[in-house]
Amino acid sequence: MDGLVDIYLGRQPIFNKKLEVIAYELLFRGNTQDNHAMILGGDTASAQVMINAFGEMDLADVLGKHKGFINFTEGLLLRDYQPFFPKNKVVIEILEDAHVTPKLVEAVKKLKQMGFTLALDDYVFNPEFEVLEEYADIIKVDILEVGPKQLMEHSKRLKSKGIKLLAEKVESRQQFEFCAKLDFDYYQGYFFAKPKIIEGKRLPQNKLTTLELLSSVYDPDVDMHKLSSIISKDVSLSQKLMKFVAQTSGPDLKISSIHDAVLRFGLNRLKSWASMLVLAGVDDKPMELFITALTRAKFCELVAKELSQSSVERYFTVGLFSCLDAVMDSDMQSLIEKLGMEREIEQALLEKTGLLGTTLSVVMRLERGSTEIDLPEGLTPTKASHCYLQAMKFAESVGF
C-alpha cells in the first residue's frame, strides 16, 4: 500500500444577519472537477466527510473556530453508540428523507440530551416532522420549495419556540431581503458563496485491519491493549486516531503512545469511529461482504472455543481473511503470499485443510444452506447451528 490517496471535502459557508461566517456545511466530494455531490450511498458519503474532516485534514484549516454542519442519514441516526466527534464542533443535520418513527425520535432525543446541536435539513413544513421540532435548535428552510405565504406563517411559529431559522438555497438578493424581513437568523446559498473544495492527502486504509478493529470493539470481552495492538500495526489507523485525539483535546494535552490515545478516546467512541471508518471505505463494496467476513470470523472463533482450541484468534483470522480476495479485488494466492501467514492458516484459506480449514468449510456451507456438512470431531449439528446463529447476530450488531 504505497503512496498517498487524494481526498476532497466540500465546504459551504453559513452566514448570520450581518453576513459574517458563523459555520460551514461540510459536503462529500469525490474530485475537484465536479462541485456537486457524486452519487454515493448516504451513510458512506457522511462517513467519509466525518473521517476526512476529523481524522485526515487539519481541523483548524477546515473549520477554524466555527462549527461544521454534517448530514446524517436515518441509518446513521439509528446507530446505537456515542458519536466520536466533539459536540462543540458539529451540528447534526437530520435529512428530510428520514422516516419519522418512534425509534428515530428516541435517537434524536438522545443526541439532544448528550448536548449536540441539531438541525432539520431542507425543511418544507411537512406535518410528519413537527414532532422533531421539539428537539431542533436550527431549522434549515428550503426557500425554493416553500412559498412566501408558508414562510411568513411558519417562521413566526417556529421563532416563538426559540428555534433558529436558516434560509438555505438563497440565490438572489430579493430572496435574502425577504427572509431578512422575516427575521431569519442564518443564510446559505449560491447568492453568498458556492461550496469550496478542500483537498488533502491520506494514507491508504487497510480494510481488513479496520474490520478487525470493528469486530474487536464489539467483543464483550474486549481488552484495550488488544485494540491498541490492532491500531498500532496499521500506520493509517494510528495516524487518524492520534490526529483526532490531538485536535479535539486541546493544545496542552501530550499523548505518550497509541495505547494512551486509545484510553483517552474510550471504548464507546472507538465503536463509533470504527463504524465510520468501515463505512467510509466501502463505497465500492457491498456491505453484505463485510457482514459475511465478520460472520465467518465469529463462527470460527466460537467453534474454536467449543472444541477447546488454545489459539482462538487464529480461527477468527481465518474466517475474517476468507473474504480477502473479494475485498481487495485480487486472487487469494497472491494476497496470502504477501501476508507472511503461518502455513496452517495459508492451507486453511487456500485448500480448506486441517481443523482450521474444516471449520471454515462448515460456515461456508451453512451460508449456502447445505445439509451435507462434514463437521469436525466434537462439534454436533446443534452446536454448529447455534454458533452460526450467534455469529450472524454478532455481525449484524457491530455498527453497520
Statement: residue 37 has pLDDT above 50: no
Whether residue 323 is predicted with pLDDT greater than 60 in this model: the reply is: yes
Residue 98 has pLDDT above 70, yes or no: yes
Its pTM stands at: 0.62
Report how far residue 299's alpha carbon sits from residue 317's, in angstroms, rounded to the nearest whole number: 11
The answer for residues whose C-beta is within 8 angstroms of residue 213's C-beta and 6 or more apart is 227, 230, 231, 237, 270, 274, 277
Residue for grid cell 459475511: 292
For residues 28 and 97, state if they share a domain.
yes
Shared domain for 173 and 227, answered yes or no, is no
End of a domain among 200, 231, 247?
Answer: 200
Average pLDDT of every residue of the chain: 83
Same domain (yes/no): 271, 128: no
Q: Let me know whether 100 and 149 are in one domain.
A: yes
Q: Say if residue 124 is in the same domain as residue 257.
A: no
End residue of a domain, out of 151, 181, 200: 200
- Verify that 11 and 152 share a domain, yes or no: yes
283 pLDDT band, cuts 50/70/90, is low
Amino acid 360: pLDDT = 94
263: cell is 484510553
Which range of residues forms the domain containing residue 26? Answer: 5-200
* pLDDT above 90: residue 200: no
- Contact call for residues 24 and 13 (beta carbons, < 8 A): yes
Do 167 and 107 reside in the same domain of the chain? yes
Q: Domain tally for the chain?
A: 2
| Residue 215 shares a structural domain with residue 165 | no
Predicted local confidence at residue 38, as pLDDT: 44
Does the pLDDT at position 1 exceed 60?
no
Query: CA-CA distance, 159 to 155, in Å (whole number)?
Result: 6
Q: What is the pLDDT of residues 60-70, one digit of tens each?
A: 778 888 999 99
Query: Are residue 226 and residue 352 in the same domain, yes or no?
Result: yes
In this structure, the answer to whether residues 384 and 277 fall within a common structural domain is yes
Task: From 200, 229, 259, give the residue that closes a domain.
Answer: 200
Q: Indicate if 315 and 187 belong to the same structural domain.
A: no
Q: What is the DSSP string of 287-354?
A: HHHHHHHHHHHHHHHHHHHHTT-S-HHHHHHHHHHTTHHHHHTS-HHHHHHHHT--HHHHHHHHH--H
- Check whether residue 54 and residue 174 sit in a common domain: yes
What does the pLDDT average to over 113-133? 90
Percent of the chain, pLDDT > 70?
A: 86
Domain at 89, CATH number = 3.20.20.450
pLDDT for position 82: 62
